[in-house]
Each structure stands twice: as C-alpha cells, then as structure tokens.
Amino acid sequence: MTDITKHDTKHDTKHDTKHDTSDSSTTDEFGLRTLDVEQLRAKRGAKWGAREARFSAWVADMDFPVAPAIVEALQAVLDGNEFGYPNWGGPFASSPAALLFCPRMSERFGWEPNPARVHDMIDVIQGMRSSVHHLSAPGDGVVLHMPSYHPFIDTIDEMERRLVAVVRDGDAFDYDDLERRLADEPATVWILCHPHNPLGHVFERAELERIAEIAERFDLTVISDEIHSDLVMPGHSHIPFESLGADVSARTVTVTSASKAFNLAGLRWAVLHAGSAPMQQALESLPGHYLGAPNVMAVTATVAAWTEGDAWLDAVLGVVDENRHALSELLDRHLPGVVYEPPSATYLAWLDCRALELGEDPAETFRERGVELSPGPQFGPQGRGHARINLATSPDVLAATVEAMAG
Ligand SMILES: Cc1ncc(COP(=O)(O)O)c(C=O)c1O
C-alpha cells in the first residue's frame, strides 16, 4: 500500500494525531471519539486504501470500529472454525438475518412486513437492480429525486431506462412539476432513496403520502431503498414507505440492510421485501439458487447488529449528530461561503461550494489539498459545484479534514 504519511509533514496539525478528549473519553465506551488517523491511513479498504489522500471522507463507510457484539459474534465463528455450510434449514431456507427482518421492522418502526415476502439478497443494489429489471422494460421512465446516489443514475443509463427527475424548487422537491411531466412522459417505477443520499433528507409522512398518491395515480411501483433508515437524527423519525398501508405496500418493493448503520458493507448481505405481487412472482419464478445463498459471516454480523448492536448505534448517532453541527462552525471558520444544511439523516453531508468558484467539481481542488470527498457531479447535473463529505469519523478527524480542505 502507498505510504500516505510521507506526504504529511507540511500539513500535520494538532488534529492529526490520536486525541483523548477528556470530556468525552469517559463516555466513549466504543472508541468512536479517539480515532488514530495513522491507523485509518493504514486501512486497506476502499475508503482509505484506494486513494492517496491524507484525509478520506468520500465513500459511505464509517471510520468507527464496529460494535463489540459484532466482533464477538464473528470471533465465535473464527474460534469454532465454522466455515462449512450453515445449519439454517436447507439451501433455500431464509437466513437467520432474513428471519429477524420482520421483528426488527416491527420493533423499530412499527411496520409489520409479510414474512412470506422476505428475500435474502447479497446487497441493496442487487435488490434495486433486479426490481428495475423485473418491473420495467428498456425505454421505460424511472422516477428519481435529483441529485441522486450515483448507482441509481448508472442503473437507469446501463439498463436503458429513461430518467424522470424530481427536482428541487428551493429546499423542497417539486412534485407539481413531476406530475405535469409524468402526464407527458410516463414512467413505470420510482426509485425512492429513503432517507435520501446525498441530501440527508428524511421524507416525513405528508411527503410520503404525496409520493404514494402520485405512484397510484400514474401506476408506478416504488422501489424504496431504506438502507439509511437507522441513521436518522434526533427530531426526525423514519417511516417505512410500505407502512403507509396495504395499498401502498402492494405497489412497493423495500430493500435494506444493516450494512450502512453498522458499518458492514464489505460483508455483503441485504434483504428485499416484495410488497408488490409482480415482484414476488418474479422472484418465485426464478430457478432455485439463481440468486445464490448469503455468506455466514454477513448473516452472523447482521444478527448480532440487530439483536445486540443498538447501544453502539446510539453512540454512533450521538457522534454524527455532534459532527453535523460542528461542521457548520468548521466551514464558517475555514471555508466561509460553503452553503451547508446539517443532514436530518445519514452520515453524509452535501456541500454547496459554488461560492468558492472552484468549478464544476470542487472535489478536484480538495483532492489536490489532500482530502478525498465524493464529487458532486457524480450525483447528476444538480451536483455541479457541490461535494459530499462523510461525517462518520471522530470530531478531531473531521476538524482536521475540514482544515485541510481549506489548503
Ligand atoms: C442509498 C444507498 N443504497 C445502497 C447503497 C449500497 O448498498 P450495497 O453495498 O448493499 O449495495 C448505498 C451505499 O452507500 C447507499 O447510500
């Protein structure tokens, strides 16, 4: 791996080393506030290992160590040398993680999914793409809030669907405009990113009802990606789209995973709930084993996360909440002119850098300054002049990152 530290001498700051902030250390049970940036730089995964940056705040992985309960559960698999076929009741049986999905949704969000409609998946994008494949055809319109998480845009392009964009009018999405356009350019599916990446927007009940109403009027099936649903900030709550009612559920596919909230993206497990009967039929008609079976480690980690991980998750939400507010002050101090609204959900923050006049892709300038962010234009034309920063790190690393962004 490239030795990133050798580029650092000029930029080492007081934030650039391990800190033990005495105020928070007593409450830092999970080691979320005392990250050592050198240890982060030694990581081999995509976030820190794939880029020659001094600070990596791009892809949606956390810098935090995962919940101890997850490590213990995985360690038990290692200690037992248990890498054979799992004892889950046969090759086509639902995994223990899929069996936990309904109780987890009920307990956390008051939604009662149908256990017969729950399917193991390898990842969320697999569930989303297979839904687009089964529920629409090339040339069909796909509704998407813009800017958008780029794999959705890529899906529409690669699968030769037509983007029907929901755009913002000021701070709110313009559904009147969407309705006018849907009358002229029909669509078959709506990919709903709920909560929204990159805007960190939580769709509250009235907005979800509006979406459901439009979906019904224009006969759209909604593919609701709820991977960020456990990452909702204080003062907001997540309402699963399918929980709006039986009629809504019947035209919805929900895809989610513990991977974002519990930092398990490399383990590969997700779950799909086919409220939509055509999607359920499509999955049931696939040849047995067409989708494969999930990985023991991923399922073990998810079960630990969903049964024993919530104290850790609460601690993570506390740090991200603190960071999203701290970012306002850090930007005022180091990069005045950047327009930023703290996200209501996710650990991702959307920075409007247009006033800095750094061109279409400000992330290029930040990269030259040693900081890797996600380029705004990746999220569609609405992302020009913007960049996305990842807040799932310690307050000190975030402060050092923003300081470095200023050059
Ligand atoms: C909204 C959203 N959906 C899906 C994913 C990717 O999920 P997976 O790795 O399970 O495909 C991400 C990753 O950041 C995401 O933000």
Q: Measured from the CB, is residue 265 less than 6 Å from ligand 1?
A: yes
Residue to mutate (ligand 1; options 228, 260, 272, 389; most atoms within 8 A of CB): 260
pTM of the model: 0.93
Judge whether residue 181 has pLDDT over 80.
yes
Ligand 1 centre to CA of 270 (Å) is 10
pLDDT value of position 365: 98
Element (H, E) at 121: strand 118-121
Going by C-alpha positions, the residue among 350, 353, 366 that lies closest to residue 405 is 366
pLDDT tens digits, 87-101:
998 877 899 999 999
What's residue 6's pLDDT?
31
Residue ID of nearest Cα to ligand 1 atom 14: 60
Average pLDDT rounded to a whole number, residues 276-303? 96
**Cα of 215 from ligand 1 centre, angstroms:** 23
Atom of ligand 1 nearest to the CA of 270: 10
Band (pLDDT 50/70/90 cuts) for residue 26 is low
CA distance 41 to 43: 5
CATH number for the domain formed by residue range(s) 83-308: 3.40.640.10
List pLDDT tens digits, range 215-246. 999 999 999 999 999 999 999 999 999 999 99
For residue 13, what pLDDT is reported? Answer: 33
Distance of CA 124 from the midpoint of ligand 1 (Å): 6
Q: How far is the C-alpha of 197 from the C-alpha of 192, rounded, in Å?
A: 10
Residue in the block written with tokens 């105020």:
23
The CATH superfamily holding the domain 4-67+310-405 is Aspartate Aminotransferase, domain 1 (3.90.1150.10)
Q: What is the pLDDT of residue 298?
A: 98
Residue, of 89 and 266, whose pLDDT is higher = 266
Q: What is the domain partition of the chain in residue ranges?
A: 4-67+310-405, 83-308
Nearest residue to 241 via CA among 200, 196, 282: 196
Ligand 1, pocket-test mutation among 149, 223, 254, 347, most atoms within 8 A of CB: 149
Which element (helix H / strand E) includes 363? helix 362-368
Q: Residue range 2-7: average pLDDT?
A: 32
Distances (CA, A) of 381 to 45, 202, 363: 29, 22, 15
CA-to-CA dists, residue 108 to 31, 91, 194, 299, angstroms: 25, 29, 16, 19
